Amino acid sequence: MLTVTGVFDDGAAYRVQITGRADRPVIGSRRAAALIELHMGERIALSPAGPMKVVSGDDTKAVLEVLRRSTNVINSMGAAAP
């Protein structure tokens, strides 16, 4: 499991665990969970020239990228699924 610590634009801090589960992609912050849900089904690039992925709850890399794009990620620890 990957643990991510970050800050929303309004200064509110969060710490979540990215679960890799489609039914509950993150635990630890309802606001972060709502953010992920808002972006479900969207196509995002995992890097500037990287592959496009559809955001789904069981894709830890896509979930992390949504957090990186929408918040200020301060730290991420643990292992993301391949």
Per-residue pLDDT tens over the stretch 18-29: 999 999 999 999
User: Residue 30: its pLDDT value, please?
Assistant: 98
| CB atoms near residue 53 (< 10 Å) | 15
Q: Enumerate the domain spans of the chain.
A: 2-78
Instruction: Encode pLDDT of 38-59 as tens digits.
Output: 999 999 998 888 889 999 999 9
- CB of 31 closer than 8 Å to CB of 14: yes
More confidently predicted of 81 and 48 = 48
Q: Is the pLDDT of residue 80 over 80?
A: no
